Amino acid sequence: MKFDTIIIGGGLSGLTCGIALSQKGQRVAIVAGGQNSLHFNAGSMELLGNVDGEEIAHPVEAAQRLQPNHPYRKVGIDHLEELAQEAKTLLDKAGLTMSGNAKENHWRITPIGVTKPAWLTLEGLATVASSQLPWKAVTLVELEGFIDSPLQFVETNLAAQGVQVKVARIAPAVLTQARRSASEMRATSLAKILRNHQALASLAAEINQVTTADELVLMPMFLGLDDDALAALQAQVKPRLAFLPTLPPMVPGVRIATALQHYFKMLGGTYLLGDKVVDGLIEDNTMRHITTAKLQDVLLKADNFVLATGSFMSGGVVADFTRIYEPVFGLDVEAPANRADWTLAEVMDDQPYMSCGVATDDTLHALKEGKAVKNLFAIGSVLSGHNAAVQGDGEGVDMLTALAVAHRITNRQ
Amino acid sequence: MAATTQTTFASANNFEQCLKCSICTVYCPVAAVTTAYPGPKQAGPDGERYRLKDPKFYDEALKLCLNCKRCEVACPSEVRIGDIIQRARMQHPQRPKLRDVLLANTDVMGTMATSMAPVVNLTLGMKPVKAVMNATLGIDKHRTFPAYASQKFETWYRRHAAQTQESFSKHVSYFHGCYVNYNYPQLGKDLVTVMNALGYGVHLLEKEKCCGVALMANGMHEQAKRQGETNMQSMRKSINELKRPIITTSSTCTFTMRDEYDHVLGIDNRDVRDHLSLAARFIYQLIDNGEVKLAFDPNFKMRVAYHTACHMQRMGWAIFSTQLLRMIPGLELIELESQCCGIAGTYGFKKENYENSQAIGAGLFQAIKEADPQYVATDCETCKWQIEMSTGVPVLNPISILAQALDVEKTKQLNQN
């Protein structure tokens, strides 16, 4: 079976690359081993949030100070702004309206109520212009029985910034009786119930009972999975609403994942969900074909291959008791040789293992035994050279390396 | 400290690999429409932790699982959530109701019904009969039983096809399944037409039993296991002595025999699995390897929407059917978003499941109406019943479409050797 390009990994990076290539008329297949980590995304994209321990307001400018092996160096610091704009346009075409730009960060509110710098945030979610909250008072909506939002943390963290917090409890019958099993009273489940207009109207009525028109109301995002429920709810309530992400799986993240998968398929892309690449043949520094667990002896061939398998969490790199390795093709990995050097004592420190990943040349070709594989690129979190948790650059690296590689592939034709 | 360090996962169905991420719950079609089902995470790995401690934690709500396996397709950690649920149901059997015994014993029902097909079809279609079945058996009155054929596929094969099959140089065995045998022999005839045109003789297995999927769904696992062992024995003979691989035209039969025999019933099928394939995949591979060529009827025109059946999605094989359909020059293909149709074999026939079954399928029915195709193509027979009943659009197996689109004589000439 032959495609122009085959992408291994169906997360943000793989989908971005697949969409960009399909837009250029390529026949693309993505092999996705189950659903992706966008399901744990709070609805924001980070480009660069922290350099040398300092929170960043102007990411493009601050990128000049990044370490020499950072993946942004391989897409070109001078191209960051242009690629970031292209990424935003791609999201917009997939039906995802996001606010923000690459020159200036805004600050998002995390599920526990602290602020973090962000590049793009999905429409409807609460954002502020700086790390200092501008609010005097807010009302937090607490839904009875809802298990996906630690509102006491939010309350404490907002209060620590001097915000007066009022908690408004609601218990709309349509939602509280919705789950006989309390363990399933979660954001994505409620969002399915709230696709129904009557259910949404009853939620609006409850909110109107406990709030007034002059309040700013923050509420967990348990609606708007794949519909316009956020806007519809806003139209029916008196106060202004701003939404907070919940614990995973998060409604905004699932919304992004779904929209990108739909858009890729709409462009003619083949999305092989629930399959897994098990092997590949590399000869003369060229990837000839790959095989998957489900397609077995049907070889998947392509002119170019892209590895977008993610980091440790997604199995793109694996650590055992002696080594850190790339499990599919045995590609070169950048990691400290000595196991003791993988970690630091304090969990919140800049843990060295977080920067481990697949080694690439300057144009993001993956390396095997020191040599670049001519038609195999690596993109996104599988790459070495950065720590997304500390540097706040996860989605930026995912999308920008994907776009840079898509350009290299189409320019090569 | 243990003497050795465990470095591989040892638990059944990857139970230990569950990270509690809950992604499966997002993709469960049952949990999306009913509050009575706790969702795959709770019913599967979470509940399993308790059940391992004490069987009294077994929850009757597990019978609401329709075994679509979409949780397993979504799971990033390869946990076989659906298999965990199926095994739990198997370990907590209930005496099946008369209705479930009738629905599950497709062989017995089929043999009885085909011998009196005109009468049975007429009777099962009558309103008073439906009302009685609804009241006494709990078979929903909205359902129409798929019509029984007056001649079994096996009978047709022995009378009209068997004699000529040895004349081919290459051979396959065909596991036709209950549906082709009792309800829709035309699909089997189409399969024989296509394979003969490609230069392959088609043979029945020495002994074929129902794959057992309906028995498993209705708590009759012991019987399912016996039937499974019989099928494996016939297939071993076909593979080892006759050197004939086995092909099928039903995605669910294939999935059951390749995967659930091992994962759920504990039947050792390792030596058979790789020789058992869906015809669409088998034919695609022959074409992909340059071993056969197809010639199409230049006048063939058809607008088709392809529906990915749940077990087809789980096997990851929809690509073979869609690629095959795309080879037909006069065929316009629309790929529907992969979602459950709600029938899940015998599940949707039960009165207590009817409403959920239709609610689950609503999204698919809407998508089909919007696509407005001449035919829906799918590899699953029970999806066919559900889609035809719920949308009025006729449904064909891709092999039947191929049989219609081929220039059979020309294809035969291309593949003579």
Q: Where residue B398 sits, what CATH number does that domain have?
A: 3.40.50
- Chain A residue numbers with beta carbons less than 8 Å from the beta carbon of B75 are 34-35
- Determine, for residues A34 and B23 on separate chains, whether the beta-carbon distance falls below 8 Å: yes
Cβ-proximal residues to B46 (8 Å cutoff; 6+ apart), any chain = A183, B18, B20
Is it true that the peptide bond before B128 is cis, omega within 30 degrees of 0?
A: no
pTM exceeds 0.90, yes or no: yes
**Nearest-CA residue of chain B relative to A253?**
B23
Q: Kindly state whether residue B364 falls inside one of the protein's structural domains.
A: yes
Instruction: Round to whole Å and give the CA distance between A181 and A185.
Output: 7
- Determine, for residues A184 and B31 on separate chains, whether the beta-carbon distance falls below 8 Å: yes
Shared-domain flag, residues B359 and B321 = yes
Shared-domain flag, residues B274 and B162 = yes
Taking alpha carbons only, the member of A316, A319, A327 closest to residue A37 is A316
- Determine, for residues B285 and A298 on separate chains, whether the beta-carbon distance falls below 8 Å: yes
Minimal C-alpha gap between B285 and chain A (Å): 7
Which pLDDT score is estimated for A181? 67
Find the domain containing B49 and state its range.
2-91
Report yes or no: A186 at the B interface, CB cutoff 8 Å: yes
Q: Kindly state whether residue B142 falls inside one of the protein's structural domains.
A: no
Shared-domain flag, residues B170 and B253 = yes
Give the residue from B238, B261, B291 where a domain finishes.
B291
CATH no. for residue B42? Answer: 1.10.1060.10
For A353, the 3-state DSSP assignment is helix
Minimal C-alpha gap between A297 and chain B (Å): 9
Measure CB to CB from residue A254 to each of B26, B281, B338 and give the nearest one: B26
Report yes or no: B242 at the A interface, CB cutoff 8 Å: no
Instruction: Round to whole Å and give the CA distance between A54 and A74.
Output: 23
- Chain A residue numbers with beta carbons less than 8 Å from the beta carbon of B316 are 272-275, 292-295
Report yes or no: A384 at the B interface, CB cutoff 8 Å: no
Report yes or no: B315 at the A interface, CB cutoff 8 Å: yes
Cβ-proximal residues to A18 (8 Å cutoff; 6+ apart), any chain = A5, A7, A28, A30, A264, A269
Which pLDDT score is estimated for B132? 73
Report yes or no: A262 at the B interface, CB cutoff 8 Å: yes
Give the residue from B136, B164, B197 where a domain finishes.
B136
Minimal C-alpha gap between A272 and chain B (Å): 7
Q: Kindly state whether residue B197 falls inside one of the protein's structural domains.
A: yes
Q: Kindly state whether residue B25 falls inside one of the protein's structural domains.
A: yes
Q: Spell out the long-range contacts of B47-56 with Cβ–Cβ below 8 A and sequence spacing 24 or more.
A: B47/B88, B48/B15, B48/B84, B48/B88, B51/B88, B55/B91, B55/B92
Interface test with A, best of B5, B8, B18, B23 (most A CBs within 10 A): B23
Shared-domain flag, residues B175 and B273 = yes
- Find out whether B144 and B171 touch, Cβ atoms under 8 Å: no
Which pLDDT score is estimated for A50? 97
Shared-domain flag, residues B125 and B199 = no
Shared-domain flag, residues B119 and B175 = no
Q: Kindly state whether residue B415 falls inside one of the protein's structural domains.
A: no
Instruction: Round to whole Å and give the CA distance between B161 and A352.
Output: 69
Minimal C-alpha gap between B37 and chain A (Å): 8
Q: Kindly state whether residue B399 falls inside one of the protein's structural domains.
A: yes
State how many domains chain B has. Answer: 4
Distance, C-alpha B412 to centroid of its chain: 30
For chain B, 417 residues long, give each residue's pLDDT as a single digit of tens: 567 777 777 788 999 999 999 999 999 999 999 888 989 999 999 999 999 999 999 999 999 999 999 999 999 999 999 999 999 999 887 777 777 877 777 777 777 777 777 777 777 777 777 777 777 778 888 877 778 888 999 999 999 999 999 999 999 999 999 999 999 999 999 999 999 999 999 999 999 999 999 999 988 999 999 999 999 999 999 999 999 999 999 999 999 999 999 999 999 999 999 999 999 999 999 999 999 999 999 999 999 999 999 999 999 999 999 999 999 999 999 999 999 999 988 888 888 899 999 999 999 999 999 999 999 999 999 999 999 999 999 999 999 999 999 999 999 999 986
Minimal C-alpha gap between B158 and chain A (Å): 34
Give the residue from B258, B291, B324 where a domain finishes.
B291
Shared-domain flag, residues B47 and B63 = yes
Specify the residue for token string 């363990």.
A183
Handedness of CA B51, B54, B56, B57 (dihedral sign): negative
**Nearest-CA residue of chain B relative to A40?**
B21
Taking alpha carbons only, the member of B70, B319, B285, B290 closest to residue A29 is B319
Report yes or no: A41 at the B interface, CB cutoff 8 Å: no
- Chain A residue numbers with beta carbons less than 8 Å from the beta carbon of B5 are 321
Helix (H) or strand (E) holding B138: none
For helices A12-23 and A80-93, the axis angle rounded to 10 degrees is 80
Minimal C-alpha gap between A104 and chain B (Å): 33
Q: What is the pLDDT of residues A80-130, one digit of tens each?
A: 999 999 999 999 999 999 999 999 999 999 999 999 999 999 999 999 999
Shared-domain flag, residues B171 and B281 = yes
Report yes or no: B14 at the A interface, CB cutoff 8 Å: no
- Determine, for residues A189 and B21 on separate chains, whether the beta-carbon distance falls below 8 Å: no
Measure CB to CB from residue A248 to each of B21, B46, B75 and give the nearest one: B21
Tokens representing residue B32 in the block = 């999306």
Distance, C-alpha A93 to centroid of its chain: 17
Which pLDDT score is estimated for B2? 64
Which regions in chain A score pLDDT beneath 70? 177-184, 413
Minimal C-alpha gap between B371 and chain A (Å): 14
Minimal C-alpha gap between A316 and chain B (Å): 12
Report yes or no: A255 at the B interface, CB cutoff 8 Å: no
- Chain B residue numbers with beta carbons less than 8 Å from the beta carbon of A295 are 316-317, 319
- Determine, for residues B76 and A274 on separate chains, whether the beta-carbon distance falls below 8 Å: no
Shared-domain flag, residues B159 and B279 = yes
Report yes or no: B35 at the A interface, CB cutoff 8 Å: yes
Measure CB to CB from residue A178 to each of B22, B35, B46 and give the nearest one: B35
Shared-domain flag, residues B278 and B313 = no
Q: Between the CA of residue B207 and those of B107, B113, B174, B381, what are the distances in Å? A: 13, 20, 11, 22
Report yes or no: B289 at the A interface, CB cutoff 8 Å: no
Shared-domain flag, residues B217 and B268 = yes
Instruction: Round to whole Å and give the CA distance between A75 and B1.
Output: 48
Helix (H) or strand (E) holding A94: none
- Determine, for residues B316 and A33 on separate chains, whether the beta-carbon distance falls below 8 Å: no
Q: Kindly state whether residue B416 falls inside one of the protein's structural domains.
A: no
**Nearest-CA residue of chain A relative to B24?**
A35
- Determine, for residues A180 and B42 on separate chains, whether the beta-carbon distance falls below 8 Å: no
Q: Kindly state whether residue B146 falls inside one of the protein's structural domains.
A: no
Report yes or no: A184 at the B interface, CB cutoff 8 Å: yes
Interface test with A, best of B14, B18, B26 (most A CBs within 10 A): B26
- Chain A residue numbers with beta carbons less than 8 Å from the beta carbon of B17 are none
Shared-domain flag, residues B80 and B111 = no
Taking alpha carbons only, the member of A20, A49, A8 closest to residue A400 is A20
- Chain B residue numbers with beta carbons less than 8 Å from the beta carbon of A270 are 319
